[in-house]
Amino acid sequence: MKHKKLNQNFFARPTLQVARELLGKFLVRKIGQRQIAAMITETEAYRGPNDLASHASHGPAWPAGRRTPRTEVMFGPPGHAYIYLIYGMYHCLNIATEKEGYPAAVLIRGASLFPKTYNLTPTLNGPGKLCRFLKIDKMLNGDNLTISPRLWLEDRGNKIRPNQIKRTKRIGVDYAGPYKDKLWRFMIK
């Protein structure tokens, strides 16, 4: 099976489409000589300056969005890593999408490790656990994942059919008003 690295064109598209198509793709992390590959099984889209669930939103009164040092990567070019610390102890990995200047990203919420060795293989179900296992932290914030030697994404040729995908509301965004019920979470059934 081919291992094709995802390029900037992949991420420079509508965020919901990128979130859906990232399912089944492989997240690859290189630490020293060691390389870990995990198949993405769950994602969420955070899209645009009006998405009240997004760090980059500031409500209708700030049409351009909340552009701060933290959210800068979301406004930047597609394919770059937006990594932030949550609750003082967990990191979350996102990948910036759409065109530069438009704040959007896909949160990687879950993945399966390959190869699975017996039942010792931990389940990376949850963005915090995923980052902890793959040693993803703010050192990698802002990295261009289409050229980074430390973290990138691959298409390994496996296809996820639409009827294998479940679509739900996003997790933990009850504060987001009308945006809390958007079906912007995608997972492999």
Taking CB under 7 A as the binding criterion, the range among 21-29, 34-42, 77-85, 160-168 that sits at the site for DNA is 77-85
Nearest to 69 by CA among 55, 90, 49: 55
Stretch that binds DNA, among 30-38, 88-96, 161-169, 180-188 (CB under 7 A): 88-96
Q: Rounded to an integer, what distance in angstroms lies between the CA atom of residue 94 and that of residue 91?
A: 10
Kind plus residue range of the DSSP H or E element containing 9:
helix 8-11
Residue (170 or 182) nearer to DNA, CB:
170
32, 60, 63, 88: which one binds DNA (CB under 7 A): 88
**Strand ranges (DSSP E) for the chain?**
4-5, 26-31, 34-47, 81-86, 90-96, 104-114, 124-125, 151-155, 165-168, 185-188
Stretch that binds DNA, among 8-16, 27-35, 155-163, 172-180 (CB under 7 A): 172-180
Binding marks (x or -) toward DNA, 97..126, rule CB under 7 A? --------x-x------------------x
Question: Could you say which of 71, 102, 145, 146 contacts DNA (CB under 7 A)?
Answer: 71
CB neighbours of residue 7 within 10 Å: 14
Q: Which is nearer to DNA, 1 or 120 (CB)?
A: 120
Backbone torsions φ then ψ of 157, nearest 5 degrees: 90, -10
Indicate the helix (H) or strand (E) that contains 11: helix 8-11
Contact segment (CB under 7 A) with DNA among 7-15, 19-27, 47-55, 178-186 equals 47-55
73 versus 160: smaller Cβ distance to DNA? 73
